[in-house]
């Protein structure tokens, strides 16, 4: 087994933020805030981060550092014969990564085209042969980062890409604050719609996705920690950074959307079709557009490598890092083909929708709460050292509330969420 450690607590926190901050923060959060009642969605989301996301992150950090090994080994140590259960979170992680690399490829394609060729909407650009090369390039990046050591690979990638991302984000925010659409953008946020069961569920699912918790990614990252690190405060920093970035991204994006009279619809459409139209009209647009896609590429790649690390950690039980990185990359490359083809001249569909949308919108939305429920149950109930290790990780007054959240409130909330997903409306 590899026994690599982060070079410092700061590097660990940076990598965890790199995992959490992703494409989900840039367009998914802002869009949901608009769709589900603006300010009230934000309040529900923050509550869901505090009561569900943050405790799960602390749980993953605690177990990760304590066992200091891959997810399946961790499960195996918790209970004899438990190791195979880790196949379930692994499968979810693998599915997400299989299409996440494709979308990361799009960010690279648009970065390239915004510098060298004219802008094309996604529906047109994706029909070109050349569009297909960007996913393999993304996979190559991932392979090179993963096969290098933890410190020279993942740490270096985060050390370069995260500052690039933060600087571009802050510049975009500053720019958007000067736009005439700012008033409308703030009004979009400040409308306090009523909170429905639907919006609360959307907030919880978004929490799991955005914080990268519930599937063992943060556990794997924390397995590379030394014994003394402060866990609860590290988790709090990651959660605050992730939520802060989501809010800032909205402040960067919506003034542009409203100033140029665009439709604040979310998802891929906003990032790849709508915003570029604004970039082409605005002063300095030829600088803002590549900067925006570089920002998207940076956050996407740092999230993708966290998913890849979860695979590499388990494969490297029997192989060295280089071989494990190769196996993981080849597996992801093969699995990415259907998603890749769904946005190509093949237009591969499943159940009438592009495979990528099906995986992202249906499979993941349904599976994420269930997988998180399983992970929380195994760690909160099955792991004998849970209370002892939690005591070490938390300030004393938070210990009891935390145990109650992990053992009762969160499983019940996730169960309710999953059940409601499976009942037809």
Of residues 19 through 38, those in contact with ligand PHE by CB under 6 A are 19-20, 22-25
Give the span between the Cα atoms of 135 and 340, in whole angstroms: 8
Q: Which helix (H) or strand (E) holds 113?
A: helix 87-116
Nearest to 215 by CA among 388, 420, 64, 102: 64
207 binds ligand PHE (CB under 6 A): no
Minimum distance from residue 101 beta carbon to ligand PHE (Å): 12
Minimum distance from residue 325 beta carbon to ligand PHE (Å): 18
Minimum distance from residue 115 beta carbon to ligand PHE (Å): 24
367 binds ligand PHE (CB under 6 A): no
306 binds ligand PHE (CB under 6 A): yes
Give the span between the Cα atoms of 72 and 331, in whole angstroms: 18
The residue length of the chain stands at 425
Candidates 109, 217, 367, 379; binder of ligand PHE (CB under 6 A) is 217
The string of DSSP letters for 9-78 reads: HHHHHHHHHHHHSSHIIIIIHHHHHHHTTBHHHHHHHHHHIIIIIHHHHHHHHHHHHHH-S-HHHHHHHH
User: Judged by CB, which is closer to ligand PHE: 179, or 374?
Assistant: 374
Give the span between the Cα atoms of 170 and 252, in whole angstroms: 8
303 binds ligand PHE (CB under 6 A): yes
Candidates 134, 209, 293, 402; binder of ligand PHE (CB under 6 A) is 209
Q: How many CB atoms lie within 10 A of CB 177?
A: 12
Sort strands 349-350 and 353-354 into parallel, antiparallel or unpaired.
Answer: antiparallel
- What Rg, from alpha-carbon coordinates, does the chain have? 21
Spatial neighbors of 385 by CB under 8 A, at least 6 apart, are 66
Tokens of 342: 């769904």
User: Judged by CB, which is closer to ligand PHE: 20, or 59?
Assistant: 20
Stretch of 54-62, 77-85, 299-307, 374-382 contacting ligand PHE, by CB under 6 A: 299-307
User: Judged by CB, which is closer to ligand PHE: 96, or 200?
Assistant: 96
User: Judged by CB, which is closer to ligand PHE: 55, or 181?
Assistant: 55
Sign of the C-alpha dihedral computed for residues 198, 199, 204 and 205 taken in this order: positive
Residues in contact with ligand PHE, counted by CB under 6 A, come to a total of 14
User: Judged by CB, which is closer to ligand PHE: 22, or 276?
Assistant: 22
State the alpha helices, DSSP H only, in 228-316: 231-259, 267-268, 275-281, 285-315
User: Judged by CB, which is closer to ligand PHE: 25, or 274?
Assistant: 25
Closest residue to ligand PHE, Cβ-based? 22
SS3 289: helix
Stretch of 17-25, 75-83, 153-161, 282-290 contacting ligand PHE, by CB under 6 A: 17-25
223 binds ligand PHE (CB under 6 A): no
Stretch of 14-22, 105-113, 161-169, 316-324 contacting ligand PHE, by CB under 6 A: 14-22
307 binds ligand PHE (CB under 6 A): yes
Please report where in the chains the tokens 């306090």 appear, as a residue.
192
Of residues 123 through 162, those in contact with ligand PHE by CB under 6 A are none
Candidates 32, 71, 83, 96; binder of ligand PHE (CB under 6 A) is 96
Stretch of 123-131, 207-215, 225-233, 285-293 contacting ligand PHE, by CB under 6 A: 207-215
Contacting positions for ligand PHE (CB under 6 A): 19-20, 22-25, 96, 209-210, 212, 217, 303, 306-307
């Amino acid at each position: 087994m590899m026994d690599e450690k982060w070079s410092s607590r700061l590097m660990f926190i940076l990598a965890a933020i790199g995992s959490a901050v992703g494409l989900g923060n840039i367009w998914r959060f802002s869009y949901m805030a608009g769709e589900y009642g603006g300010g009230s969605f934000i309040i529900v989301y923050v509550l869901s981060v505090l009561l569900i996301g943050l405790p799960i992150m602390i749980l993953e950090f605690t177990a990760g550092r304590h066992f200091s090994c891959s997810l399946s080994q961790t499960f195996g140590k918790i209970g004899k014969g438990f190791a195979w259960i880790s196949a379930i979170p692994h499968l979810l992680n693998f599915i997400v990564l299989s299409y996440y690399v494709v979308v990361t490829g799009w960010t690279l394609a648009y970065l390239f085209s915004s510098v060298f060729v004219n802008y094309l909407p996604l529906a047109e650009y994706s029909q070109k042969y050349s569009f297909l090369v960007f996913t393999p390039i993304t996979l190559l990046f991932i392979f090179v980062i993963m096969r290098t050591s933890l410190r020279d690979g993942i740490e270096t990638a985060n050390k370069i890409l995260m500052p690039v991302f933060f600087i571009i984000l802050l510049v975009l925010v500053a720019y958007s604050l000067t736009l005439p659409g700012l008033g409308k953008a703030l009004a979009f946020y400040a409308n306090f719609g009523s909170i429905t069961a639907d919006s609360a569920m959307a907030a919880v699912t978004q929490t799991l996705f955005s914080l990268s918790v519930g599937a063992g990614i943060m556990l794997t990252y924390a397995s590379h920690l030394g014994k003394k690190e402060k866990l609860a405060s590290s988790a709090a920093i990651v959660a605050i950074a992730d939520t802060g970035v989501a809010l800032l991204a909205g402040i960067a994006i919506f003034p542009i959307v409203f100033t140029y009279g665009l439709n604040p619809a979310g998802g891929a459409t906003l990032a790849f079709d709508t915003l570029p139209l604004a970039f082409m009209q605005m002063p300095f647009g030829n600088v803002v557009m590549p900067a925006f896609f570089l920002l998207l590429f940076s956050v996407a790649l740092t999230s993708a490598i966290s998913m890849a690390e979860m695979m590499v950690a388990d494969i490297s039980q029997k192989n060295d890092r280089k071989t494990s990185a190769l196996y993981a990359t080849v597996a992801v490359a093969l699995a990415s083909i259907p998603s890749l083809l769904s946005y190509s001249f093949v237009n591969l569909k499943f159940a009438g929708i592009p495979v990528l949308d099906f995986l992202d919108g249906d499979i993941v939305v349904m599976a994420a709460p269930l997988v998180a429920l399983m992970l929380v149950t195994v760690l909160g109930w099955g792991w004998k050292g849970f209370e002892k290790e939690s005591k070490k990780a938390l300030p004393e007054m938070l210990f009891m509330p935390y145990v109650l959240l992990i053992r009762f409130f969160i499983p019940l909330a996730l169960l309710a969420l999953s059940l409601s997903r499976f009942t037809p409306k």
